[in-house]
Structure 1
Amino acid sequence: MTKLVFIENGRAVTDSLTIADVFNKDHRNVLRDIEIQIEKLNEAGERRWGVLNFEQTQYQHPQNKQWYPKFNMTEDAFALIAMSYVTPEAMKMKIMFIHEFKAMREQITSNIVPLDERRVRMELFKQAIEHEQRLDSVEQKILEIDYKVETQITLNSREQRILRKAVQKRGMELAEQVTFRQLTMVRDGIGEDIQKIRSQLFREIYRDLWDRFGVSSYADVLKKDLDAALGYVSNWIPRQVA
């Protein structure tokens, strides 16, 4: 793994390339995340904060030797971008970044020409307070995001596909349990009749699923309810097979 934090103009910073590499994201997506946050800072009247903590610069691609944009970020800017990365693996990476920033700050501090004892103590006290405030702010934002994930975020495309396949599997299982005596069409039409029964079962499963979780589409099921929805589908029993 590349070095997570480095010194730039006397400050401990990381950059968008490092974040993309560590969190296994496309660099273009990280740049987009940063640009969105800068835009929100401008809208909130915090443009100066954005300028101080996000520095747009360039890097040269090692293969084609072309120059591309990237951003250097302070610890505060990193916290703002990384707060939305909430997987368990991402949380581990964020802790690593926090330790790296602390170590780099200590390295910078050790290279500073000593001041008188009173000023040194005041500066260390100030840094400790600022660090605690940043941690409190980051922890609060992480809690807010976790709450949003639990109560507002719906299924992504992969999870929708999982739920849809579960419905299809259950519908086909039940359709296969229908005996030939329940089929009203002649032998040549049996295949068509089974397909009609499957389609009816799919519709009924979806309808009951929507009613059970209070949504108008399986895509609106909350992420936190996915396991419950899968269990409901796998145990679903039709009221009547026409």
Structure 2
Amino acid sequence: MQLTNIGNKNITSLEILEQINFFRKQEGNRAELKHYDLLKIIRDEFEEEIGQGKISESFYKNSQNKEQPMFELTTAQAKQVLVRESKFVRKAIIKKLEELENKPMTIQEIMIQTLKEQEKLNFRMDSIESKVDNEIRVDHGEQRKIQRAVGTRVYQRMDIENNHDNKKSMFQSLYRDLKNRFGVASYRDIKRKDLTNVLEYISTWIEPAELRSA
């Protein structure tokens, strides 16, 4: 049995669960701990730390490709969770954790850990982008008016520039111009501005920006 999260000495609740059930079986204990029960233990044990944001819930995808919660703990926190296990299980896993703490990383292990961290970052970014997309699709009358106005100007720009292959970059450029003009951090904030001023400004987009500035 090997613990895999060795890059920053953090252990996932899934890895802790695997170790607990492995050594429970060795001990002759047929009671298998379920992940949702382990999460209850972690939430109870670290209620204060979770409330303060010192320990954050993360997510993984199960065999059905459904998003499920999990925690990443330091080795010290993992040992604290194990207090509720039998002496046999506790001593066996603590020994594994101490080996983990003292084990130097190979180049391959560093690369694996880096890829895992990148996957987590990508997953979080995808979740954020999906959330933003869903917010933009909410039925806001003013929002839709702005979207239609921008779309109209994009197609006018395409005809003027005789370029029908770069629609996406035009949308991005015009929205960036709109955000800069009205001092907002993101597109969904534009709806909070005065609609008349926004639509009037969009109407100046008939010519390409480089022609208007000439």
TM bracket (short chain) = 0.3 to 0.5
Return the TM-score normalized by structure 2.
Answer: 0.40
Return the TM-score normalized by structure 1.
Answer: 0.35
